[in-house]
Structure 1
Amino acid sequence: MKNLYEKRIDQTKQILAPLGEIHTRPQFGGYGVLADNVMFGLFLQDELYLRATAQIEEVFHHHQMTRLRYIRRGLPLTLSYFQLTDAGWQDPTLFLQLATLALNGARQERAEKQNRERLKGLPNIGGYLESLLLDAGISNQEQLKAQGAKACYLKLDTDDIPLSIKVLYALEGAITGYHEAALPAEKRDELRSWYETRHPTATTKYRR
């Protein structure tokens, strides 16, 4: 017998078929929902959250959808995803309308990023790290700098094996204009102390 998550995945694929082939992939401790390789939804603990741009947040609020918030290692984190309500699950037409807004918004953000300052233009930010940041909802230099290295690191560090401390150094260097190996010693010591309080049993087996 299928569990609730499996039933809801099947329901999602069936209702959202007009949007294209729907598939999932591991993301943020749950499963991202994608169409044409564009992520517009997120399953966490049997609940579906739809991605919102600033332009459609008001619509989601109107339908009493609540923003995804959770605590990650003692820090409150907020993502631009809103929980589909029971009314959405019970009304396929409404579900499709809301998901269409989410997908169109995600596609628009992807197109518009070419007109923004790309994260990849910063020191230490290669294609791999940029893709992680984009998936976490950090799409430009302004957002990276506003949130800071520690909060951004926590959004990325979602697997059982922690991200390397070098990623934390890279984020700080990207914000302050240093290559990660050239960060001032005082700042490196501060970041290492912060990192070790969150990964007290960390070994050398890190993701890059």
Structure 2
Amino acid sequence: MDEDYLHDLFGSLGDVRIRRLFGGQGIYSGERIVALVFRDELYLKSDAETDPLFEAAGSARWTYTRPGRMPTRMPYYRFPDSALDDADEAARWISIADGASRRAATAPRPRSRKVGKAPAGKASA
């Protein structure tokens, strides 16, 4: 997708940068990813809070399948077609994706568990 078009579309976010990602383009606001373009389709960041909004709008979730594996559902939904021709609606969806991106950036990351160690306070047999 044309980078000038994407900069204009996401201009309300301020510091918009486009980087290569997954063979497509990642659209960032600062260090946070807000959207991506894959195979000429624009997808917006989502989370548990925004998934129902995208689903109600009829947007398809981005999934990919590796050979020999089950499909992987990614936290991105296709940009609603109606928003491509309506600047106000586009801004609303971009704001929704920005909110999901902000929540993802501040969510605590799961701690990794070390394999082979017994939990504290329990003796090994």
Q: Shorter-chain TM-score category? A: 0.7 to 0.9
Q: C-alpha offsets along residues 40-77 of structure 1, whole Å, 9 cap, x if unaligned?
A: 11100111100101001111112211100122123212
1:80 to 63, 66, 75: 75
Residue 108 (structure 2) pairs with residue 122 (structure 1): no
| Matched letter for residue 96 of structure 1 | A
Partner residue of 2:23? 29
- Give the TM-score taking structure 2 as reference length: 0.81
Q: 2:92 aligns with which of 82, 91, 97?
A: 97
Match of residue 20 from structure 1: 14
Closer/same/farther in 2, CA of residues 73 and 21 from structure 1, 3 Å limit: same
Off by >4 Å, runs of 4+ in structure 1: none
Aligned length: 116
1:178 deviates by 4.8
In the TM superposition, what are the counterparts of 1:1-208 in structure 2 within 5 Å? 5-6=1-2, 9-75=3-69, 76-113=71-108, 118-119=109-110, 121-122=111-112, 177-178=115-116
Q: Name the amino acid aligned to 2:15.
A: E
- Higher share of residues assigned helix: 1
Aligned-residue offset at 1:89: 1.0
Question: What's the TM-score once normalised by structure 1's chain length?
Answer: 0.51
Structure 2's unaligned 5+ residue stretches are 118-125
Give 5+ residue unaligned stretches, structure 1: 124-173, 180-208
Query: Partners in 2 of 1:15 and 1:43 — Cα distance?
Result: 13
TM superposition shift of 1:31: 1.4
What is the letter of the counterpart of residue 99 of structure 2? N
